[in-house]
Amino acid sequence: MQDNDERQGPWRKILLSGGAILAAAAAYNAFARKDVDQLTNLIGGEEGGFDWRDRRVAFTKRGKGPPILLIHGIHAAAWSYEWRNNVDALARTNTVYTLDLLGFGMSERPAIRYSARLYISLISDFVSRVIDEPTVLVATSLSGAYAIVLAARDPLRFPAVALIAPSGLVRLNEPVGLGGEAGRLVVDTPIAGTAMFNAVVSRPQLRRYLNNAYSNDSLVTRELVEIYYATSHQGGARHAPAAFLSGHLNIDVRNALRRLSQPALLVWGEQGSIAPVEEFRGFREIKRDFEISVLSPAGDLPHDERAEDFNVILSTWLNRLSLSSALTLDMLPGTPADLQPTQQLL
């Protein structure tokens, strides 16, 4: 009997230590979500809910004129809040929709298998069923890659596309491998995976990410960090980012770019570090009629960091394409008199 106890001793210690680790992880998770309120609409406009595959997808709408859909980028704390400095200005000449992709923001965050195909289908169905008329897509980063695929597939439904530092050529373009699948499974585990994700979206880590994304560090306020902390600590917040971090949301856009026939605008931040400005050359090599605007100083979120300039650039472009209700640029209140900091590469 004693020998049996001695043989079981190491295993008991391992199990007990494993239980202690899980208990610590559970306590950390509870602490991380302490005092985190449910998200509310922080950008205004008419709120709506789109029922898609038995899940609720949140969106906002404001303004009048030809519709444009603003699609946020994809990262661990992503949601449509990133358009807060763009929606009102653009709504002066267009009907502006913002969409929280499934798994992000105010949309539901189910534990499902997220993929690039899922998001492409979601965006397509939203435009078809909710907007129900030709729509300009305005999308950032990985969502920009999805916009390229959709526009190439259906140029009548998407008469133009504006892309902000899109991926799909040299970044986030490789299919997922076994390592990525294992990573997704680890992060999706209820206790340990949640603890790992909470470490990624801690306040210090979010501040570090935002300082890297903005050229001007003074824009990374305590309030901004808290807002991104809140969205990344909602129930189920880890599931979609787990798919992103493991490569399941990646997509190669080269073939779609070759078929892209409608007008397209590229916007980049000259000081971008996540998406270096040199990447625009790859897009231009495949689609030579891209119109390109490089904003400086600006990092990886030029539509936010240089919102006033971005709003004028996009509105002017839409007006020239007869895809807005503006008669002249002078109709836009707040138009900067001097766009010298904006480098236009046409």
Tens-digit pLDDT profile for residues 278-320:
999 999 999 999 999 999 999 999 999 999 999 999 999 999 9
For residues 346 and 209, which has the higher predicted lDDT (pLDDT)? Answer: 209
Q: Is the pLDDT of residue 171 over 80?
A: no
What whole-number percentage of the chain has pLDDT above 90? 72
Query: In sequence order, which residues have a C-beta less than 8 Å from that of residue 65 and are 6 or more positions away?
Result: 93, 94, 95, 324, 325
Model pLDDT, residue 3: 52
Task: Specify the residue for token string 């903005």.
Answer: 214
pTM of the model: 0.85
Span 74-88, pLDDT tens digits: 999 999 999 999 999
3-state secondary structure of 186: helix
Mean pLDDT across 213-235: 96
> Distance between CA 68 and CA 16 in Å, rounded?
56
> What is the bridge-based pairing of β-strands 291-295 and 342-345?
antiparallel
Q: How confident is the model at residue 176 (pLDDT cuts 50, 70, 90)?
A: low
**Average model confidence (pLDDT) for the chain?**
85
> Distance between CA 217 and CA 240 in Å, rounded?
28
Question: Does an H or E element contain 278, and which?
Answer: none
Contact 271, 265 (CB under 8 A): no
Model pLDDT, residue 198: 87
Model pLDDT, residue 302: 98
> Distance between CA 5 and CA 222 in Å, rounded?
55
Q: How confident is the model at residue 189 (pLDDT cuts 50, 70, 90)?
A: low
Helix axes 222-231, 203-213, angle to 10 degrees: 110
Q: How confident is the model at residue 187 (pLDDT cuts 50, 70, 90)?
A: low
Mean pLDDT across 225-237: 95
For residues 297 and 1, which has the higher predicted lDDT (pLDDT)? Answer: 297
